[in-house]
A = this chain, B = another copy of it.
Amino acid sequence: MISHKIVPNISVDCVVFGFDFEKLNVLLVERELKDEKNGKILISDHTLAGYHIFEDEDLDSAASRILKGLTGLDNIFLEQFGAYGQLDRVSAPKDKVWFEHINKGFADRVVTVGYLALIDNTKVTLRLKDRNVSWFPVARVSEMEMAFDHKFLFYEALQALQRKVKVEPIAFELLPDYFTLSQLQKLYEALLGTSFDKRNFRKKVAQMHYVIPLKKKQQGVAHKPAQYYLFSREVYEKTRKGRISFII
């Protein structure tokens, strides 16, 4: 493995969302630093997955690299949600301690580019164990201790997600290739914090010709088995309309 030179004042942070068919979760990294002499814990909190960019890679590649390292997956849905350059971004005392400790090209002034990542939980759950990374319910983030301005970045990402989900079919990135309509409905409810009428929701989905029923049904469930559906990006691209819709 080649060792890359990092760009000290530019970094990328990824807010990785996942859906477990019940609620929305976010992938966070545990950060812990102990005093070398007495073993006392100096820092214990959580951070987003992020790192400085390398001299020889662009922003998107840096984000992909970080996600690959974390989840083992390529081809994850990734989209910028903003760039952040406030002067006090990394100025908390404990953050300075941290940077002195890892001593890897820290600059006072860091601009970070935030990436929103959506991943299909069913494809990664295995590979997280061996790292200090795990899923946390989005609803619990408010109570958590987080490093730097990462709590702020998280909420920025969440807002961006909620905005985009209303306008683009990106929610499907959070589901497996096959899903039931109830799963889709629960996902939208989790994303937007609302609830929908089942019949009306399905009527709406019926208009989305890119959500296509399969011949497969659920198996081994203790109730009437649900039909599986598929999201077709091709059909979506071919049939999308654009409306002005910011009314009222």
Contacts and interface: CB of A to CB of B under 8 A. Distances in A.
Contact of A58 (B53, B85, B165, B167): B85
Interface in A166-209: 166-169, 188, 192, 204, 207-209
B59 A111 contact: yes
Contacts of A239: 248
A207 B247 contact: yes
B248 A240 contact: yes
A84 B59 contact: yes
Interface string A56-77: 1111000000000000000000
B188 A244 contact: yes
Given A9-B9, A85-B53, A87-B58, A248 B209 contact: yes
Interface of A: 7, 9-10, 53, 55-59, 80, 82-87, 109, 111, 113, 163, 165-169, 188, 192, 204, 207-209, 239-248
A232 B92 CA distance: 40
A245 B109 CA distance: 40
8 contacts: A7-B109, A56-B87, A59-B84, A59-B85, A111-B111, A166-B246, A208-B248, A243-B245
B7 A246 contact: no
B246 A111 contact: no
Nearest to A207: B247
A140 to B, nearest CB: 24
Given A10-B10, A53-B85, A204-B244, 18 more contacts: A9-B10, A10-B111, A56-B87, A58-B86, A58-B87, A59-B84, A59-B85, A59-B111, A80-B82, A83-B83, A111-B113, A166-B244, A167-B246, A168-B246, A169-B246, A239-B248, A241-B247, A243-B245
A86 to B, nearest CB: 5
Contacts of A57: 87
Contacts of A83: 59, 80, 83, 113
Contacts of A188: 244
A155 to B, nearest CB: 16
Contacts of A240: 246, 248
